[in-house]
Structure 1
């Protein structure tokens, strides 16, 4: 019956649903009044709240999404087949297509998914769906969307605590941990024990996507500011890394868990979500899990002053390189698979999000977590006015430091600075040199004379207000 129904994937996992919704889930930040956007965010969130008879994904009693495969036609409540994953058969795969997993024929495409069968029951990656609830609340302010997100995420938080601090990767239809996998909390497709054989090489590959679940905890934090949603992931990181062993004199850390206990040991500690935990908590002990000497975090800590220039030079280089790939792409519309354009995408936003917004790059359908956002009041749109630059130089638990510069040598510019992508942060006093200005709001305007710039230290109360898509001038009206 096709891949889409009611403008939404019919039935798929949130590794792929999230990828497909990456831009839609940020659309409200750009144009929340776009035609039919209101209808779509309501409909999409409704697929997961348990009230849509055509898509009974959510079980209110057990607070679960009932399958790893879910969507506008509801959950898959049987074993998945390779055909469910691979789609319609293709001929002449090696001769005609560029299969990114290296498959040479359709049989190898099916073999890739041979073990991807245990999809019944809930999985942490389904928490990416809570971004749909965040979207709907940020647009409408209706409490039901917020309540569903918090209800569902809290259920996962409690399960993780009850499972000795490790998020389980299968919740049965009866609400029990491991209920569809013989009681194994680590079972299921994309679970802690999901290590499969690569058909082309015979090698093993571990494909555990539990880490996508951190999206739900971040969304709950946006709504509440409650650090217990951060604590649960921090405790998981520490619990996993406590299961180290020494091999040939080297400390080794596990990353997978199966019938025989922890496995897939490497010299790198388990660190999935470590940056998120620090960014959300701003606790110095959480910084210890990160590299504070180089990169973006090193810059914020004052240890990598050259990072902004180096990062932008690197990103411009990548844009040029990607455009060369686009120009020399040998595929044609009839030989181009759906994911072939992905490695060619020239959009390179990571450093801009870090340096201008003081934020983390959104991924897999997650929202934008950032400290600042900017608006152009003259043109009544989100984004920087022409010729204005920003560099977030320091992030602390209760303050934000940013330098704003108007590069136009003739005309002045006004820019509105907002706390967070969704106005979730509240500003107190803004200091420029020896001067102090009381703001007491989620945004303020800065007038920049021609060629002028200034460094602002902004007292910031994080996660103090409810998220909204409304632009600053609309919130004041």
Structure 2
């Protein structure tokens, strides 16, 4: 069955697919004075749009190229370019002006061309272009996901775009072995063969600091790096331990959004089948690993198979603690919880609670390790050769809001007692709408003012530098207009309780006021 809303969002209307086609029509003819919150929503949409236009004219050229120094790497790379228009797809889908779609589409198209032309000298796999076939040549899914957060929401307003349709199919095909040049997937063991993967296939060797940091470049008196490195040597040192990438990793579950897009656009069951088979394999691994998701799966399908049998091994794994080169401090970089996006995608397609329950059980297992330290309860976030570590004063609760949102089971409300939005929905925070909308309006103004003080030039600007000035603020709008989750940086589709559509202009978003 083809899903009619092929726009990358969870719609309540989807639940009514079997309902009668003859739906009642409600006529509203009596004008009323709009409440303050409604006026603020309109104001925030318009203020966002005006600020986004100014932002685009400052940081992009007429081709949609980002005005910056193009680089490859985890510090700053191709994924950061489209992040500069993060939130713009949601703005248009909610009802912002038509040119917001035009601008973010230009930014997406421009960055594809820009980073196809951009080449490395020393990083071996990007010497012929950082993008190939309009997709990253190979990188991890923390960064791939960040770079695709715009694309995965483009279908909200632009699903009939021919190039979008071609890319949806092509991108999914990179992970279904439909492209001989990208053998990312092993169907026998149901694994993506490396944590670093893409349109040129998987990286089947240990990664190096160079692979992650990119080509040498002068930093001093030119750039202000987001991680605080003061020179190129510290950039490489930042990534010197990011070596163990061969084999599957929970981050790769983020890639399941690609076949989800393709299934929603085409209705072809092969995409649905691949997604469910792959996520089911991870659910089984969690069961076999005591309800904890392992952070490395070997090429032979065994847990910890590429990390000496350690289920917690690998880059961005449960035991991935590194040294910050410029300070000597320890940094704990466990990213397994990002993979919950795959569980959400499988739940969306099936409604099977087992995908949420797998994460509930992990939460229980981690929190069962609680112990008293200096008279205070503490919970772990990491696991290494000596057991659990990195104790913090809050329970493990990653993805709890998403689980509750999807299940609506009272037991899943734990750890969310202080969520202001949920309190409002419960009827216990009446002032929240106006407060949230005014907060976002103030943030749009703050970022626009800060942009006016930005003294960088294109040759002293990295791709992620403008992001802090991106004015798009959609938190209050998504919560109050569509009761939607934050897709975040994990390339998730947009889960909402409803959608707006303008029947006169034939576009997504609320209609203009009469």
Higher relative contact order (CA 8 A, sep 6+): 2
2:444 matched to 1:350? no
Contact 1:191 1:210 in 2 (8 A): yes
Match of 2:325 among 186, 190, 199: 199
Measured on the aligned residues, the alpha-carbon RMSD in Å equals 1.0
Give the TM-score taking structure 1 as reference length. 0.80
Establish whether residue 9 from structure 1 lines up as the match of residue 136 from structure 2. yes
- What's the counterpart of residue 326 of structure 1? 451
- 1:94: how far off? 2.2
Contact in 2 for aligned 1:64/1:122 (Cα 8 Å): yes
Q: 2: CA distance between counterparts of 1:219 and 1:362?
A: 12
Which of 163, 167, 179 pairs up with 2:293?
167
Q: Which residue of 2 is the match for residue 115 of structure 1? A: 241
Does residue 63 (structure 1) correspond to residue 198 (structure 2)? The answer is: no
Query: Structure 1 CA distance, aligned partners of 2:304 and 2:320?
Result: 14
Between 1:165-174 and 1:297-306, the stretch displaced more is: 297-306
Q: Which residue of 2 aligns with 1:97?
A: 223
Matched, 1:85 2:85: no
| Equivalent residue number for residue 74 of structure 2 | none
| Preserved CA contact (<8 Å) 1:294 1:303 | no
Q: In structure 2, how many angstroms separate the alpha carbons of the residues matched to 1:155 and 1:341?
A: 40
Distance in 2 (CA, whole Å) between partners of 1:87 and 1:245 is 42
2: CA distance between counterparts of 1:302 and 1:259? 48
Matched, 1:53 2:180: yes
- Deviation, structure 1 residue 345: 1.5
Other-structure match for 2:398:
272
Q: How does 1:3-402 map to 2 (within 5 A)?
A: 3-91=130-218, 93-291=219-417, 293-363=418-488, 364-387=490-513
Distance across 1 between alignment mates of 2:398 and 2:341: 12
Helix, strand or coil at the partner of 1:55: coil
Cα deviation for residue 331 of structure 1 reads: 1.4
Q: CA deviation at 1:50?
A: 2.2
Q: Which moved more, 1:346-355 or 1:219-228?
A: 346-355
More helix by share: 2
1:252 aligns to what SS in structure 2? strand
Partner SS, residue 380 of structure 2: coil
CA distance in 2, matches of 1:44, 1:64: 17
* CA positional deviation for 1:178: 0.4
1:153 touches 1:216 (CA, 8 Å); kept in 2? yes
Instruction: Give 3-state SS (helix, strand or coil) of 1:83's partner.
Output: helix
Separation of aligned partners in 1, 2:469 and 2:234: 24
Consecutive unaligned residues in structure 1, runs of 5 or more? 388-410, 412-477
- Secondary structure at the aligned position of 1:360 is classed as coil
Secondary structure at the aligned position of 2:391 is classed as coil
Q: Considering fraction of residues, name the structure with more strand.
A: 1
TM superposition shift of 1:324: 1.4
In structure 2, the partner of 1:453 is none
CA distance, structure 2, for counterparts of residue 198 and residue 330 of structure 1:
28
Residues 349 and 361 in structure 1, CA contact (< 8 A), matched pair in contact too: no
Name the SS of the counterpart of 1:36 in structure 2.
helix
Alpha-carbon shift at residue 294 of structure 1 (Å): 4.4
User: What SS is found at the alignment partner of 1:372?
Assistant: coil
Distance in 1, matches of 2:428 and 2:392, equals: 28
Q: Determine the C-alpha separation between the residues in 1 that align with 2:346 and 2:406.
A: 11
| Ranges of 4+ aligned residues in structure 1 off by more than 2 Å | none
